[in-house]
Amino acid sequence: MSEAVNYPSAVELESVSVRYRVPRERVSGFKEYAIRWIQGRIEYIDFWALKDVSLSVAPGEIFGLMGPNGAGKTTLLKTVARVLEPTEGRVRVRGRMAPLLELGAGFHPELTGRENVFLYGTLLGHTRREMAAMFDEIVDYAGLGAFIDSPLRVYSTGMASRLAFAVATCQRADVLLIDEALAVGDAAFQEKCSERLESFRSEGSAILFVSHYADAVRRLCKRAAWLARGEIRQVGSADGVVDAYLSTEAGEAPAQDAQIPDNASLPVARAEIRK
């Protein structure tokens, strides 16, 4: 795509820091809060989930993000997804973004699949008209057939997650955020997911991909970053980063998690249905 040439990078983080500020104790009532406020006794715990993180992802690139639990990977994705704001630094994202982080968040079990397509689609920022135009294709892709007019509570987990994935990827996004190596539906559908994501990438989508799986990062990504305690420990070629990560974190990381099936390609976030 020519667009890919026009844009130097699709995602760009410059010295991004994110601070969570929460009260030391949960002050539960007004009265207590007022008293403490007057006394100047409201203490906050500042927790820097990201510290001075800089990285950029080019169009058409799959960028891997590795790190132990609590390293700030999710915070980083959420900052790119605009859910969180950088306390310091600057985040720039060019084009439409599809966060495949919490697939199906916002689904309502009492509504039909059809109604949920519109609800979830607009939650992700689409207009009703866009959803109407893409509706048939979504249902077809998710393979739901007549179930589309049944309430979501009768769906199997696989069906619901297929629908969520179909809605979340109904339009090619310029930036895809993918968290964790968990599957949507059965092997056949996973294959379809991978194909779709790969075709997005070849058309110029940048993919920011978080994984514990060293093999997956090595296979899919050219470049990667290793995040630890909110800071970037290393950024560079995927092989180099994975090697460094494994040699250092081997003690802490649970058995490298490196054993995943060979046929796994682009993993897809787990669908989550709120009942």
Partner 1 sequence: MPGLAGSPPADHALYDSSQRRTPFVEELLTVYQYRDLVLQLIARTVKTRYKRSVLGVAWTMINPLLTMLVLTLVFSTIFKFDTGNYALFVLSGLLIWNFFAQSTTAAMGDLIWSGGLVGRIYLPKSAFSVAAIGTALVNLGFALLPYALIALALGVRPAWTWLLLPLPALMIALLALGVGLGLSAAAVYFPDVMPTYEVLLMAWMYLTPVIYPLRVLPAGVQLLLKFNPVFYPLTVFRALLVDGVLPSAADVAIGLLAGLAALVMGWWVFTRRSREMAYRV
Please, which of residues 144-183 interact with partner 1 by CB under 8 A? 174
| Distance (Å, whole) CA 191 – CA 229 | 34
> Cβ of residue 105: shortest distance to partner 1, in angstroms?
5
| Exposed e or buried b per residue across 67-87, where buried means at least 16 C-beta atoms within 10 angstroms of its C-beta | bbeebbbbbbbbbbbeebebb
> Cβ of residue 92: shortest distance to partner 1, in angstroms?
5
Closest C-alpha to 66, from 198, 249, 207: 249
Regarding 48 and contact with partner 1 (CB under 8 A), the answer is no
Q: Of 55-63, 95-103, 136-144, 192-200, which segment contacts partner 1 by CB under 8 A? A: 95-103
> Cβ of residue 69: shortest distance to partner 1, in angstroms?
17
> Cβ of residue 176: shortest distance to partner 1, in angstroms?
15
> Cβ of residue 270: shortest distance to partner 1, in angstroms?
13
DSSP per position, 167-202: HHTSS--SEEEEESSB--SSHHHHHHHHHHHHHHHH
Tell me the site size for partner 1, rule CB under 8 A: 52
Q: Which of 1, 35, 45, 123 binds partner 1 (CB under 8 A)?
A: 123
CB of 22 or CB of 187, closer to partner 1: 22
| Distance (Å, whole) CA 109 – CA 107 | 6
CB of 54 or CB of 122, closer to partner 1: 122
Q: How far is CA 237 from CA 160, 227, 241, 243, in A?
A: 37, 14, 6, 10
> Roughly how many angstroms between the first and final C-alpha of the chain, as a whole number?
41
| Exposed e or buried b per residue across 173-192, where buried means at least 16 C-beta atoms within 10 angstroms of its C-beta | bbbbbbbbbebbbeeebbeb
Token digits of residue 73? 């990977």
Please, which of residues 99-118 interact with partner 1 by CB under 8 A? 99, 101-102, 105-106, 108, 110-111, 115, 118
CB of 67 or CB of 121, closer to partner 1: 121
Please, which of residues 64-83 interact with partner 1 by CB under 8 A? 78-79, 81-83
Find how far residue 6's CA is from the centre of its chain. Answer: 25
Q: Which helix (H) or strand (E) holds 210?
A: strand 206-210
Using CA of residue 101, residue 219, residue 221, residue 176, what is the dihedral sign? Answer: negative
Q: Which of 55, 76, 97, 224 binds partner 1 (CB under 8 A)?
A: 97
* Mask for 18-37, x = binds partner 1 (CB under 8 A): --xxx----xxxx--x----
> Cβ of residue 249: shortest distance to partner 1, in angstroms?
26
CB of 21 or CB of 247, closer to partner 1: 21
Closest C-alpha to 169, from 225, 100, 219: 100
CB of 28 or CB of 263, closer to partner 1: 28
Binding residues vs partner 1 (CB under 8 A): 2-3, 5-8, 20-22, 27-30, 33, 78-79, 81-86, 89-97, 99, 101-102, 105-106, 108, 110-111, 115, 118-119, 122-129, 174, 274
